[in-house]
Amino acid sequence: MRIGRLIRNAKRPFVSLEFFPPADEAQLPDFYDTVESLCVLAPLFVSVTSGAIGSRQRNTLTATSEMARRGLNAMAHLTCVGAEPAAIAVFLKELRNGGVANVLALRGDAPRDRSWTPESGVFQHASDLVAFVRERDPDMGIGVAAYPAPHPESSSFSADRDHTAQKLLAGADFAVTQLFFDIREYGDLVDGLRARGIDAPVVPGILPILSFDSLKRILSLCGANIPGKLYLQLEEADKKGGLEAVREAGHNFAVRQIRRLLDCGAPGIHLYTLNRSDLCLHIARDASLSGMRAEL
């Protein structure tokens, strides 16, 4: 079933989960054990990340198809940077053959091994991919990424909201946000889309904090903002208590963030699992997410 429809029909807040497929097939049994352990949360849907066409996308296909076989509403990340339409069409067909009926349409990161600009190739933006998928497979469910803080390549908040609106107008059903830590940014994103006539659901993405160093690395890559007070709390925790103290502080913040987002009307919570069931189960328990599957 199309995930956008599931979200719109949900009568109560839900949880969804994001995984990354292991690069080594020998790790698949442990990976599926992690997936199964998190099924206690009754996720409305699960998503599987991907690399560029021809690289990690095969792992995405394998993992997402297996999740669909196990009865989960599975969504494959689909990137288009540097891709040809024929390759995208083949992958869409393979997803369908694997029982997968939803994709998260993304431009993807620019290749490191060759020159690329947004004007290169057929797919210049994620909105081009959305339009292609919608025309190629009208019944495919399509989600897109949204940025509470602007994408690093966007010139302003307004321009970024325009880009997100274009993706949804091109045929996407819903959006999942990039990680963020200031819920005011989420509210501004939703308000900005509504002001542009877009009523598609926007699901906030929450990232568990593994360590202070990993957080700084992620922030440098994705361009997300972090409130100064939280940064100082994590820095102090790192100095005084190390890894465990940082995780506890990050855990407490994630729980508060989830509760506030749901109080503000977010339709559900998308957890970036980092393939760590322990962290996610702990957050879900303390934020009362366990067993929150939507009543359809």
Active site residues: 18
Q: Are 65 and 95 in contact (CB under 8 A)?
A: yes
How far are the Cα atoms of 42, 162, 259 from residue 83, in angstroms, in the given order? 35, 24, 40
**Nearest-angstrom CA–CA distance, 87 and 174:** 24
**Nearest-angstrom CA–CA distance, 133 and 144:** 12
> How far apart, in Å, do the first and last CA atoms of the chain sit?
12
**Which residues are bridge partners to 14 per DSSP?**
268
φ/ψ (deg, to 5) at 66: -65, -40
Candidates 191, 188, 215, 186; CA nearest to 203 is: 186
DSSP line for 156-200? SHHHHHHHHHHHHHTT--EEEEPP-S-HHHHHHHHHHHHHTT---
Spell out the residues 6+ positions from residue 274 whose beta carbon is closer than 8 angstroms to its own: 20, 207, 208, 210
Q: What is the CA radius of gyration of the chain?
A: 18
How far are the Cα atoms of 25, 93, 255 from residue 55, in angstroms, in the given order? 14, 17, 35
Q: Are 150 and 185 in contact (CB under 8 A)?
A: no
